[in-house]
Amino acid sequence: MNDDPLVQISNLSFSYDSRPILSGINMTIPRGKVVAIMGSSGCGKTTTLRLIGGQLKPTSGSVTVDGQVVHQLDADSMYAMRRKLGMLFQFGALFTDMTVFENVAFQMREHTNLPEAMIRDLVLMKLHAVGLRGAHALMPTELSGGMARRVALARAIALDPMLIMYDEPFAGLDPISLSIVGELIRKLNDALGASSIVVTHDVQESLKIVDYVYFVSEGKIVAEGTAEEIRKSKTPYVHQFVWGEADGPVPFHYPATSYAEELMGTVS
């Protein structure tokens, strides 16, 4: 990808104490593009998002966002950078004691000095963009899973961010809601001129909307390419993951001693 990068990840490694999570990964997130990070649970996908957002500091290597090395920023610069980021958390993470309207308005009131009349118009505009302007007075408990995810999406774009990060945006959704959320991710990214990073297990839905894919396994990038290149990949891990096959390099069984020997009591 030769596009101008908004996010550049260079030789990035990260460990929790002595447990390595990421090992020397390199990624480029161009401006205006939707990029997916895929891989099995525990491979370091969400950790990568946390490193981009500055919640974690790399063990080695660097993450550069809009020309700034994230882990070198002081508190004020980090705060200013985060104002330009949007985040859709897994399962939405709406404030349960606030209405739909109040959830979307929260960032505007927290980070701007806009008058309430303008905030009202902007909130309704964001909700209209996700098809839920008519639900502005509802509480999160009154929403379906798909509706809650769309409200969370409206909240994520409340301040017109330059980068939107999605942590498992399709988890737990029915097929119709899943398709709607996928289309919204693509349309809103293009309308805002933003960049998007989608961390997901849902291969087929993601491949419909993304420009580029990185596959992570055991903390390393094992494959990358366009959606079409990933679909045609002959790499065993990627092929197994994309087509949901039981047999392949990702085993079903956790490493263990011989089952027969354990049943016979010959293994302690």
Tokens 């949007």 belong to residue = 86
219 within a domain of the structure (yes/no): yes
pTM of the model: 0.83
103 within a domain of the structure (yes/no): no
In angstroms, the CA 10 to CA 23 distance is 11
237 within a domain of the structure (yes/no): yes
Domain of residue 51 covers 1-84+162-170+195-268
Q: What is the pLDDT of residue 2?
A: 47
In angstroms, the CA 22 to CA 11 distance is 10
The H or E element spanning position 239 is helix 236-243
CATH code, 46: 3.40.50.300
146 within a domain of the structure (yes/no): no
Tokens 């990260």 belong to residue = 14
Contact 81, 55 (CB under 8 A): no
In angstroms, the CA 37 to CA 35 distance is 7
What is the per-residue DSSP string for 8-27? EEEEEEEEETTEEEEEEEEE
242 within a domain of the structure (yes/no): yes
101 within a domain of the structure (yes/no): no
Domains: count for the chain: 1
pLDDT > 90? residue 184: no
Q: What is the pLDDT of residue 89?
A: 83
Q: What is the pLDDT of residue 69?
A: 93
148 within a domain of the structure (yes/no): no
What pLDDT, in 10s, does the model give residues 71-101?
999 999 998 898 889 888 876 688 889 999 9
Q: Count how many Cα atoms sit within 13 Å of the Cα of residue 36 in the half-sphere of its side chain.
A: 29
What pLDDT, in 10s, does the model give residues 207-241?
889 999 998 888 888 888 888 888 877 777 676 76
